[in-house]
Structure 1
Amino acid sequence: MKAVVVSEAGGPEKLVYQELPTPQVKPGWSLVKVMGFGINHSEIFTRQGLSPSVEFPRILGIEAVGVVKESTDEARLPEGGKVVSIMGEMGRDFDGGYAEYVLLPNEQIYPVTTDLTWEELATIPETYYTAFGSLKMLRVKESDRILVRGGTSGVGIAFLNLVKGRYPNIEIDGTSRNMVKKEMLQKAGFSDVMEDRDGELQTDKKYDKIFELIGPATVKNSFEHILEEGIVCSTGQLGGQWYLEEFDPIFDTKKGYLTGFPSSDVSSAQMNELLDYISKYGIRVKPEKIFSLEETAKAHAYLESSHSFGKVIILN
């Protein structure tokens, strides 16, 4: 099979497209033919050597969509069935989705029922699953005023689509550090765009709900813009900081609530709940950029660049 392998930490050029033996099934594991997958910021961090537990060489990829090629659990995972896999230790402790085939633990393979194209389905797993789980944690209502901090990210755009698909007239603003992207964000559906400059929002506006994708680096500032009894859901860590520092939960929460959503909490039922929501509300699911497996290094370079926007996927 063809696969993309990282043998040592570094830049996108360390993602090498090469031929490897197709994995052989073993008890409790099944082989999936990969039809596509999304590129995620966590994979960039791993490629850069910022995931201490990961040893190279490694095939990266914390998600994949495809069909079961060889099964060791025919009752739950019949050969030819559509499946999704995300998270666990995929692409970290064992080889992940950056390949034509991936060998996965059966408990980490989730059968799905959907008529979506492979392009659409490949756009969904980690990105839309994270956005959907966060939407539920935020308890979004039609009357809410919402801010997406990190609006240009794939998860930010996914969240926008999920919310606007159900509540077309809701007020939902986005942020960007690069205001050149303002028109792109408004075209995507955001009501307004706020500049995020050096971790400070350049606005006096306050919101009922803030979807925080920059993470611990800006959570404290986000609470400066939350209304009383509002909710901040910190899900992303695009700011490169993993833990809250110099944060007083008594005073800095401003009588609001802080929550989060761990996208590692996955089940087939929850994945199909997301797909049902997308179908019910006619949610637009479309990647911003599509690359081939051979172009994975280019996909990483694009996602790291200053002009990246939305979800980037690979189709086999």
Structure 2
Amino acid sequence: MKAVIVEKAGGSEQLKVVDRPIPELKEGWSLIKIKGFGINRSEIFTRQGYSPSVTFPRVLGIECVGVIEATSDSQRFTPGQRVVSIMGEMGRDFDGSYAEYVLLPNQQIYPIKTDLPWEKLAAVPESYYTAYGAYKNLKLKASDRILVRAGASGVALAFLNLVKSSLPKASVTSSLRNPAKKAKLLASGYDQVIIEREGILETNQTFDKILDLVGPSAVDDNLNHIKENGILCIVGLLGGQWTLEHFDPIMALQKNVYLTAFYSGNVDVDKLQELFDFIATHKVEIRAEKILSLEQIKEAHDYLEGAEALGKVIILNEE
């Protein structure tokens, strides 16, 4: 099979497409024929060496969609069955989805029911699951004014699509560091775009709900722009800061603000199926910004690291 090996931490030139044996089935695991997968920021961080628990060489990839090729659990799985896998230690403690086949623990393989074609299904798992978790935690209403920090990311645009499909009257604003992307974001469905400079929003507006993909570095500024009884949900760490320091919760949340988060590792088959049912019920738009091949993996990483990055990038494997 073809697989992408990272021999050592570094730039995108470390992503090497090689031939290697298809993994052998073992007890408690199943072999997945990968139809496609999305590229995630966490994989870029890992490739760069910012995941201390990850040792190299490693096949990256924390998500995939595909079919059961072989299984050690015939009670749950059958060959050809359509499945999704996300998170666990895939692509971290053991080799992940940057390949044509992957061997995964049975407990992190989820059979799902959906009519989505592979090019749409591959764009769903990590981005839409995270966006849907935030959607629920934000307790959204049709009358809400919503702000999305780092609105050009794949999770942000997935969230926008979930909101606009189910609550079309809700107002959704994006923050943006690169003004050149403003027209594209408005065309994607945002009602307004606010420029952010050095972590500060250039506006005095306040919002009922804030979805934050920047992370702890943006918390103080977010709290300056949230209304009484508003909800701030953190789901990303694009700001490069992982934890809050010198945080006084009583003073920071003095406007009766609710601070929450969503962790996509909190996943099971029922939660995933709920997402796919929501997508079907509300006819949610699913679209990848770029669809590339395994041989173009370096191009995928370079695009997401570049100034023009927008939305979800997926890799599709040929039949």
Q: TM-score, normalised by structure 2?
A: 0.98
Task: Summarize deviations over 1:158-189 as a string: whole Å, max 9, x none.
Answer: 00000000011210100110011111110000
User: How do residues 1-316 of structure 1 correspond to structure 2 at under 5 angstroms?
Assistant: 1-253=1-253, 254-316=255-317
Residue-by-residue CA offset, 1:38-76 (whole Å, 9 max, x unaligned): 000000000001000000000000000000000111121
Provide the rounded CA distance (Å) in 2 between the counterparts of 1:220 and 1:25.
Answer: 49
After TM superposition, give the deviation of residue 247 of structure 1 in Å: 2.1
Q: CA deviation at 1:255?
A: 2.2
The CA deviation string for residues 78-114 of structure 1, in whole angstroms up to 9 with x for no partner, is: 1110000000000000000000000000000000111
Residues 29 and 71, structure 2, Cα contact 8 Å, conserved in 1 = yes
Alpha-carbon separation, structure 2, partners of 1:255 and 1:246: 19
Q: CA RMSD in A?
A: 0.6
8 Å CA contact retained: 1:150, 1:176? yes
Quick check: 1:38–1:314 contact (8 Å CA) kept in 2? yes
8 Å CA contact retained: 1:23, 1:102: yes
Runs of 4+ in 1 over 3 A off after TM superposition: none
CA distance in 2, matches of 1:233, 1:197: 21
Find the residue that maps to 1:251 and give its secondary structure: helix
Return the alpha-carbon distance in structure 1 between the equivalents of residues 115 and 43 of structure 2.
28
Give the aligned residue type for 1:245: E
Deviations 1:105-135 (A, max 9, x none): 0000000111100010000000000000011
How far residue 77 of structure 1 moved from its aligned partner, in angstroms, is: 1.2
Q: 1:100 is aligned with what amino acid?
A: E
**Which string of whole-angstrom CA distances, capped at 9 and with x for unpartnered residues, describes residues 218-271 of structure 1?**
011101000000000011000000001232211112321100001000111111
Secondary structure (helix, strand or coil) at the match of 1:113 reads coil
The amino acid of 1:119's aligned partner reads E
Identical residues among aligned pairs (%) = 56
Q: CA deviation at 1:293?
A: 0.4
| Residues 144 and 170 in structure 2, CA contact (< 8 A), matched pair in contact too | yes
Whole-angstrom distance in 1 between the partners of 2:180 and 2:169: 25
**Within 1, Cα distance between the matches of 2:31 and 2:84?**
12
Alignment partners' CA distance in 1, 2:288 and 2:69: 26
Aligned pairs, number: 316
* Deviates further, 238-247 or 55-64: 238-247
- Gap regions ≥5 residues in structure 1: none
Give the letter aligned to residue 283 of structure 1. Answer: V
Post-superposition shift, 1:197? 0.8
Distance 2:90 2:196 in 1: 33
Distance in 2 (CA, whole Å) between partners of 1:77 and 1:141 is 39
- The amino acid across from 1:298 in the alignment is E
CA distance in 2, matches of 1:77, 1:208: 44
| In structure 1, C-alpha distance between the alignment counterparts of 2:77 and 2:115, rounded to whole Å | 18
Amino acid at match of 1:72: S
Q: Is the 8 A contact 1:165 1:283 kept in 2?
A: yes
Native 8 Å contact 1:288 1:309 kept in 2: yes
For 2:238 and 2:201, the matched residues in 1 are separated by 15
Q: Structure 2: which 5+ runs fail to align? A: none
Cα pair 1:215 1:241 within 8 Å, conserved: yes
Residue 143 of structure 2 contacts residue 169 of structure 2 at CA under 8 Å; is this kept in 1?
no
One-letter code aligned to 2:281: K
1:187-238: CA deviations, max 9, x gaps?
0000000111111111111000000100001011101000000000011000
Structure 2 counterpart SS, 1:156: helix
SS in 2 for 1:123: coil
Secondary structure of residue in 1 paired with 2:37: strand
Distance 1:55 1:193 in 2: 40
Report the more deviating stretch, 87-96 or 240-249: 240-249
Aligned to 1:296, the other structure's residue is in SS state helix
Kept in 2, the 8 Å contact 1:220–1:247? The answer is no
